[in-house]
């Protein structure tokens, strides 16, 4: 094993380096190189635990001695290290998949008094005070890992998703551009989702009058933000191969790090995106069985995320509230076009919410397309060719077990939302009626530019008179 090359960046930390920065440098440099070498067969899989013990172990202090920021940074860093330990262990022998926890007790004592890796991670998670699960999570891998991101509209900052590093960098498994772009897509999409939830939340919690002008404005902005998110995701799929994500990398490199650390635990997955879960609850687009799904996802979420979702799940969805206020006598489904027109003329909020639900359904359609393109279609081709599904993480379904049928079903539920009858009226007419057309006219052509990392949103410098919410509410989900 070329030990010197893999540990080089760590064994000689700069004089100004603190120990966490040295772990960070090892993860960004030598660890990604080692992962690449193992995957290419240039190093054996057991080189990974050996290097963790040898190069990372001595850099780690007793978990309880770290301050809050270092603790959270180490949860991200050791989350990536743990993913490597787990994957390489399981790939060594098929029988290892039944005992994933053994990946962490083979020669990986760390700390000034050597402690097993799982115990070390557990103590770090407890010490963080965030309730972080005792393994890597969607939150640490994407939200905490990447630089802070923001959503801007009309000169107002609508949402912030902080990170726990201030180096402007992001950490990956193999440093491939595929992973960089994918992580960026996830965090920027979640930023859009946060802004949408903050825009519509006050309508659902009763702090904004459903029949007032502010409700229309907020729903209009939410619809356009969802359109921006859809464009961001559609553009991602259109990136040239050298700049984007290849299906092979997604299936054989990236996904294979989302292994179990203990039998039955919940590995990181887009299914744990708390903003998407909240949006389904607030908009009332939950599929049958959604509450059970939420319960199953619980162990992979942060307590703050679980609490927020429980609070939203406890109150009626926005669609229900709007329908109660507008009281369409015989329901919408039986209404003629003339009756629908009269109804939305009287209650434009119905049309504004319909436009949000439509934008949400279209976003879901693009997400389904991405899942087919990068996972389900190529896996079908592999099954037909006899290659099968040999990885330690199955490519026949998502990490938390959702298959293609489940994602198709979710998209259909979002398409057949409770206001779907309003599709009988031309969209352009509804956009004028609700004021969305005017908002669009004032917005930049590329709505995906509403989000960016650390002040890079193109909409940041465009102050206008009609700021949506004033200063952003504090963002949750990060310490």
CB-wise, 238 or 441, nearer to ligand HEM? 238
Give the 3-state secondary structure of residue 287. coil
Least separation in angstroms between residue 401's CB and ligand HEM is 5
CB-wise, 287 or 421, nearer to ligand HEM? 287
Structural contact between residues 249 and 176, judged by C-beta atoms closer than 8 angstroms: yes
Integer CA distances (angstroms), 356 to 109, 224, 352, 410, in order = 52, 8, 7, 17
Residue 361 token pair: 């359904």
In 3D space, the residue among 192, 475, 188, 186 whose CA is nearest the CA of residue 308 turns out to be 475
- State the Cα–Cα distance between residues 281 and 113, nearest whole angstrom: 46
- List, as one string, the DSSP characters of 415-460: HT-TTGGGGGS-HHHHHHHHTHHHHHHHS-S-GGGGEEETT--GGG
Q: Which of 137, 174, 197, 233 binds ligand HEM (CB under 6 A)?
A: 233
**Contact region with ligand HEM (CB under 6 A), list: 88-96, 103-111, 393-401, 466-474:** 393-401
CB-wise, 20 or 174, nearer to ligand HEM? 174
Residue 256 touching ligand HEM (CB under 6 A): no
Q: Which of 120, 153, 254, 374 binds ligand HEM (CB under 6 A)?
A: 374
| Angle at which helices 213-237 and 177-204 cross, to 10° | 170
Residue 393 token pair: 């993480």
Which residues between 300 and 329 bind ligand HEM (CB under 6 A)? none
Structural contact between residues 162 and 421, judged by C-beta atoms closer than 8 angstroms: no
- State the Cα–Cα distance between residues 298 and 400, nearest whole angstrom: 12
Half-sphere exposure for 175 (CA within 13 Å, toward CB): 14
Least separation in angstroms between residue 339's CB and ligand HEM is 33
Give the 3-state secondary structure of residue 136. coil
CB-wise, 234 or 425, nearer to ligand HEM? 234
- State the Cα–Cα distance between residues 222 and 216, nearest whole angstrom: 10
Structural contact between residues 455 and 140, judged by C-beta atoms closer than 8 angstroms: no
Q: Which of 24, 35, 130, 189 binds ligand HEM (CB under 6 A)?
A: 189
Residue 166 token pair: 């201030």
Q: Which of 269, 285, 360, 457 binds ligand HEM (CB under 6 A)?
A: 269
Q: Which of 76, 85, 158, 186 binds ligand HEM (CB under 6 A)?
A: 186
- State the Cα–Cα distance between residues 470 and 150, nearest whole angstrom: 14
Residue 398 touching ligand HEM (CB under 6 A): yes
The 406-435 site mask, x for binding ligand HEM (CB under 6 A), equals: -x--x-------------------------
Least separation in angstroms between residue 80's CB and ligand HEM is 19
**Contact region with ligand HEM (CB under 6 A), list: 15-23, 203-211, 329-337, 402-410:** 402-410
Residue 245 touching ligand HEM (CB under 6 A): yes
- State the Cα–Cα distance between residues 241 and 450, nearest whole angstrom: 25
Output the residue with the shortest Cβ distance to ligand HEM: 398
Least separation in angstroms between residue 48's CB and ligand HEM is 25
In 3D space, the residue among 282, 306, 314 whose CA is nearest the CA of residue 137 turns out to be 306
Structural contact between residues 261 and 118, judged by C-beta atoms closer than 8 angstroms: yes
Least separation in angstroms between residue 375's CB and ligand HEM is 5
The 128-167 site mask, x for binding ligand HEM (CB under 6 A), equals: ----------------------------------------
The 273-302 site mask, x for binding ligand HEM (CB under 6 A), equals: x--x--------------------------
Residue 448 token pair: 């995906």
Pairing, β 156-161 against β 451-453: unpaired
CB-wise, 71 or 395, nearer to ligand HEM? 395
Structural contact between residues 53 and 109, judged by C-beta atoms closer than 8 angstroms: yes
Enumerate residues 6+ apart whose C-beta is below 8 A from 111: 57, 60, 61, 62, 63, 120
Residue 184 touching ligand HEM (CB under 6 A): no
Residue 379 touching ligand HEM (CB under 6 A): no
**Contact region with ligand HEM (CB under 6 A), list: 102-110, 271-279, 313-321, 463-471:** 271-279
**Contact region with ligand HEM (CB under 6 A), list: 117-125, 318-326, 368-376, 439-447:** 368-376
- State the Cα–Cα distance between residues 176 and 165, nearest whole angstrom: 20
DSSP, res 57? G
**Number of residues in contact with ligand HEM, rule: CB under 6 A?**
25
**Contact region with ligand HEM (CB under 6 A), list: 196-204, 217-225, 363-371, 419-427:** 363-371
CB-wise, 170 or 276, nearer to ligand HEM? 276
Least separation in angstroms between residue 175's CB and ligand HEM is 18
Residue 301 token pair: 């979420």
**Contact region with ligand HEM (CB under 6 A), list: 24-32, 106-114, 370-378, 457-465:** 370-378
Residue 371 touching ligand HEM (CB under 6 A): yes
Site residues (vs ligand HEM, CB under 6 A): 185-186, 189-190, 233, 245, 269-271, 273, 276, 364, 367, 370-371, 374-375, 397-402, 407, 410
């Amino acid at each position: 094993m070329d030990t010197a090359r893999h540990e080089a960046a760590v064994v000689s930390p700069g004089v100004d380096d603190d120990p966490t920065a040295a772990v960070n440098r090892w993860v960004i440099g030598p660890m990604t190189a080692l992962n690449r070498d193992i995957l290419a067969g240039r190093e054996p899989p057991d080189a990974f635990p050996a290097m963790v013990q040898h190069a990372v172990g001595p850099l780690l202090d007793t978990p309880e001695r770290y301050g809050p920021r270092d603790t959270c940074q180490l949860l991200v860093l050791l989350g990536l290290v743990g993913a490597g330990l787990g994957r390489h262990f399981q790939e060594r022998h098929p029988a290892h998949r039944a005992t994933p926890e053994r990946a962490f007790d083979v020669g990986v004592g760390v700390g000034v008094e050597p402690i097993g890796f799982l115990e070390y991670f557990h103590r770090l998670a407890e010490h963080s005070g965030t309730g972080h699960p005792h393994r890597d999570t969607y939150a640490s891998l994407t939200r905490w890992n990447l630089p802070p991101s923001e959503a801007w509209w009309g000169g107002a900052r609508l949402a912030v998703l902080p990170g726990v590093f201030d180096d402007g960098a992001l950490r990956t498994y193999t440093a491939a551009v595929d992973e960089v772009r994918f992580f960026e897509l996830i965090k920027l999409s979640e930023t859009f989702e946060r802004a949408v939830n903050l825009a519509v939340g006050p309508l659902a919690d009763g702090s904004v009058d459903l029949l007032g002008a502010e409700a229309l404005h907020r729903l209009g902005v939410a619809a356009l933000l969802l359109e921006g998110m859809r464009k961001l995701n559609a553009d991602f799929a259109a990136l040239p191969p050298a700049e984007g994500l290849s299906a092979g990398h997604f299936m054989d490199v990236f996904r294979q790090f989302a292994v179990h650390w203990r039998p039955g635990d919940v590995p990181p997955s887009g299914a744990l995106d708390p903003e998407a879960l909240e949006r389904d609850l607030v908009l009332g687009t939950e599929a049958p069985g959604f509450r059970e799904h939420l319960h199953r996802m619980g162990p992979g979420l942060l307590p703050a995320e679980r609490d927020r979702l429980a609070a939203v799940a406890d109150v009626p969805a926005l669609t229900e509230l709007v329908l109660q206020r507008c009281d369409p006598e015989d329901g919408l489904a039986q209404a003629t076009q003339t009756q629908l027109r009269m109804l939305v003329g009287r209650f434009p909020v119905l049309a504004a919410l319909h436009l949000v639900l439509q934008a949400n359904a279209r976003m879901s359609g693009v997400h389904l397309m991405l899942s087919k393109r990068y996972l389900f279609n190529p896996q079908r081709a592999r099954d037909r060719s006899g290659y099968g599904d040999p990885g330690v993480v199955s490519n026949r379904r998502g990490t938390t077990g959702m298959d293609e049928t489940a994602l198709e079903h979710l998209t259909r539920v979002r398409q057949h939302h409770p206001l779907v009858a309003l599709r009988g009226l031309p969209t352009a007419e509804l956009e004028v009626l609700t004021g969305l057309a005017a908002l669009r006219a004032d917005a930049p052509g590329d709505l995906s530019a509403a989000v960016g990392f650390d002040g890079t949103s193109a909409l940041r410098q465009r102050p206008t008179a009609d700021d949506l919410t004033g200063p952003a509410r504090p963002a949750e989900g990060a310490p």
